């Protein structure tokens, strides 16, 4: 029996699976198939981009597979450097040419929308499934239950009629088994070994009243995984060559194994976080990246002592350049109340201060150890023109205070069926022009000076992975949470890492040159980018090539000592 898993990519409030990220979904599905008796050689994995690049080869796999499984669903809008999520037309085409059993699932079960600021359509109304089955709850559990009889091991059970299969959520015990069993799949990822493994600690939301737009409550109450299970999954991934990890699949890492203290948020358990991080480090001793994602600012503001202890643990075991993404959503109290949001502006500000106090020190890769990110959502209920100014004023206050933010995410709401905001997101259309103007103002007046503060000119960033060429520029990023886009004015080999000197700043990206710059062979464009160097000085340096040694360079280049930090002769 042959199974084909097609990764159409996912992007959720608490899960990312767009290259170079590999989400848990395909790994869990592969693990479920292995438990049902399929061998590693019987389970094939393709990203939608791989299928696009090689339609004949991928099409042959699709046609021969006994079961074709598509993972899809973007419940938050995003822009991606070199990957494009699967489209409705592609889903329909794949299913049309597939001869085996066809199943689709993932966040797409909640609805499908390819555009921010537009309400999603119900998936079954928007897709011509061509006799495919939509897993209306967990895809990995549905695939597991498709196999008839309880045969586990080397002999695969028979596929049964999907109409007889119950739609259900998987348990943490099941993914505790499926995660390690599906770890082999990483070797089929097109970015291997340079792909980020998204790790799940828990999902769902334990709040009694949920944010109006969020899809995380559809997964139920918080369901914490055993710490030992997460560590085992990391250990197994590591044995297959994984070196890049992000603890990203949870709405609030600080609440992992939190205790109900009778308040609006669980009380953090610093010991649990310490056991998790220490276990990951011990099981993957030579990992290259260990980052996190989501943190609820109300948790840090309500429990500052426990949260500071957790920050100490994270900094002790992680790798630098980490980001704690805060879902602030709005600084407008009317919007906060109308949409049952979590934290006031004052509470978010205190959380920002707390992370900066521990995390703003610069780490080994050139970035601060850990910084907060801020998410804003527009188009929410109660939004007025005043909302935009309140949000801007909050960001300006953070900038004026000298605090650092690694990332400011501004998006329009995507409303999904079953959320309180569904059908009430008219503000997204009403304020569209105001939204666009405000976004430009934030990028120019907040993002740009903030970026100059986070990575000043002359900062050396380590291990920037070169990813694409565009015109005469190589674009690359460090692997990690919300990596900075670096434009290098030269053609450099792709899928190779290089150290980079920061030489300039855009609103959300930077310009850099290879570090060290070999001055005798560097192009004029690269020499011109050296920090503090004007065009005339650059031309003079180029005219003097070659230089025999550092003394020769210093003798012939005025202020050459300022450049010696960045060059090699």
Determine contact, residues 292/247, Cβ cutoff 8 Å.
yes
- pLDDT tens digits along 481-499: 999 999 999 999 999 999 9
Predicted structure pTM score: 0.94
Tell me how far apart the alpha carbons of residues 178 and 172 are, in angstroms, rounded to a whole number: 10
Beta bridge partners of 461: 500
Neighbouring C-beta atoms of residue 164, cutoff 10 Å: 9
Segments in the chain below pLDDT 70: 56-59, 113-130, 149-157, 427-428
Give residue 425's Cα distance to chain centre. 26
SS3 8: strand
Q: Which tokens is 72 given? A: 């899809």
In sequence order, which residues have a C-beta less than 8 Å from that of residue 515 and are 6 or more positions away? 460, 498, 499, 500, 501, 566
Tell me how far apart the alpha carbons of residues 189 and 21 are, in angstroms, rounded to a whole number: 10
Q: Residue 207's pLDDT is what?
A: 80
Closest CA to 7 of 125, 156, 108, 75: 108
Tell me how far apart the alpha carbons of residues 563 and 554 are, in angstroms, rounded to a whole number: 9
In sequence order, which residues have a C-beta less than 8 Å from that of residue 501 and are 6 or more positions away? 458, 459, 460, 461, 512, 513, 514, 515, 517, 530, 531, 566
Q: Please, where are the H alpha helices in 360-510?
A: 385-401, 426-430, 432-442, 448-454
> Is the bond preceding 516 in cis, omega lying within 30 degrees of 0?
yes
Q: How far apart, in Å, do the first and last CA atoms of the chain sit?
A: 59
Give residue 193's Cα distance to chain centre. 17
Q: Please, where are the H alpha helices in 240-285?
A: 270-283
Domain ranges of the chain: 1-180, 459-562
SS3 355: helix
- pLDDT tens digits along 542-568: 999 999 999 999 999 988 999 999 999
Tell me how far apart the alpha carbons of residues 532 and 364 are, in angstroms, rounded to a whole number: 24
Residue 259 per-residue DSSP state: B
Q: Residue 515's pLDDT is what?
A: 97
SS3 13: coil
Q: Residue 113's pLDDT is what?
A: 63
Distances (CA, A) of 267 to 178, 259, 273, 407: 30, 5, 13, 27
Give residue 71's Cα distance to chain centre. 17
Q: Residue 540's pLDDT is what?
A: 93
Closest CA to 526 of 554, 507, 545, 549: 545
Determine contact, residues 30/181, Cβ cutoff 8 Å.
yes
Q: Residue 116's pLDDT is what?
A: 42
């Amino acid at each position: 029996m042959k199974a084909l898993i097609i990764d159409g990519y996912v992007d959720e409030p608490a899960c990312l699976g767009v290259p170079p990220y590999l989400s848990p979904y395909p790994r869990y599905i592969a693990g479920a198939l292995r438990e049902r008796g399929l061998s590693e050689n019987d389970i094939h994995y393709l990203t939608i981009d791989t299928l696009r690049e090689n339609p004949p080869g991928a099409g042959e796999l699709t046609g021969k597979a006994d079961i074709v499984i598509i993972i899809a669903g973007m419940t938050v809008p995003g822009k991606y450097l070199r990957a494009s999520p699967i489209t409705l037309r592609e889903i329909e085409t794949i299913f049309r040419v597939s001869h085996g059993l066809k199943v689709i699932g993932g966040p797409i079960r909640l609805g499908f929308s390819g555009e921010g600021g537009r309400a999603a359509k119900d998936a079954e109304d928007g897709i011509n499934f061509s006799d495919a089955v939509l897993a209306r709850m967990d895809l990995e559990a549905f695939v597991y239950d498709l196999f008839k009889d309880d045969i586990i091991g080397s002999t695969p059970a028979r596929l049964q009629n999907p109409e007889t299969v119950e739609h259900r959520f998987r348990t943490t015990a099941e993914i505790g088994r499926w995660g390690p069993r599906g770890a082999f799949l990483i070797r089929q990822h097109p970015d291997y070994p340079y792909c980020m493994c998204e790790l799940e600690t828990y999902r769902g939301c334990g709040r009694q009243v949920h944010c109006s737009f969020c899809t995380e409550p559809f997964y139920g109450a918080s369901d914490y995984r055993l710490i030992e299970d997460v560590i085992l999954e990391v250990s197994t991934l590591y044995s297959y060559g994984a070196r890049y990890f992000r603890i990203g699949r949870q709405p609030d890492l600080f609440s992992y194994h939190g205790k109900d203290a009778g308040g609006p948020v669980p009380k953090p358990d610093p010991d649990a976080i310490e056991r998790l991080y220490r276990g990951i480090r011990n099981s993957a001793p030579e990992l290259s990246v260990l980052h996190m994602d989501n943190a609820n600012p109300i948790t840090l503001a309500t429990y500052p002592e426990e949260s500071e202890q957790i920050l100490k643990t994270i900094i002790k075991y992680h790798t630098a350049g980490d980001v704690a993404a805060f879902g602030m959503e709005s600084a407008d109290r009317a919007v906060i109340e109308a949409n049952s949001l979590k934290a006031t502006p004052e509470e978010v500000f205190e959380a920002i201060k707390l992370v900066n106090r521990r995390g703003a020190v610069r780490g080994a890769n050139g970035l601060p150890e850990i910084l907060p990110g801020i998410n804003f959502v527009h188009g929410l209920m109660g939004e007025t023109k005043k909302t935009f100014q309140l949000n801007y004023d909050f960001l300006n206050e953070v900038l004026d205070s000298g605090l650092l933010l690694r990332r400011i995410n501004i998006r329009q709401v995507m409303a999904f069926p079953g959320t309180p905001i569904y059908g009430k997101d008219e503000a997204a259309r009403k304020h569209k022009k105001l939204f666009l103007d405000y976004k430009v103002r934030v990028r120019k007046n907040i993002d740009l000076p903030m970026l100059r503060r986070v990575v000043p000119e002359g900062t050396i960033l380590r291990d920037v992975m070169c990813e694409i060429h565009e015109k005469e520029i190589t674009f690359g990023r460090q692997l990690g949470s919300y990596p900075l886009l670096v434009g290098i004015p030269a053609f450099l080999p792709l899928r190779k890492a290089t150290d980079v000197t920061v030489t300039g700043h855009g609103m959300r990206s930077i310009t850099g040159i290879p570090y060290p710059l070999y001055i005798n062979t560097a192009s004029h464009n690269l020499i011109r980018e050296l920090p503090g160097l004007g065009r005339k000085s650059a031309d003079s340096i180029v005219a003097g090539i070659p230089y025999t040694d550092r003394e020769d360079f210093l003798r012939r280049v005025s202020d050459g000592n300022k450049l010696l930090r960045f060059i090699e002769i």
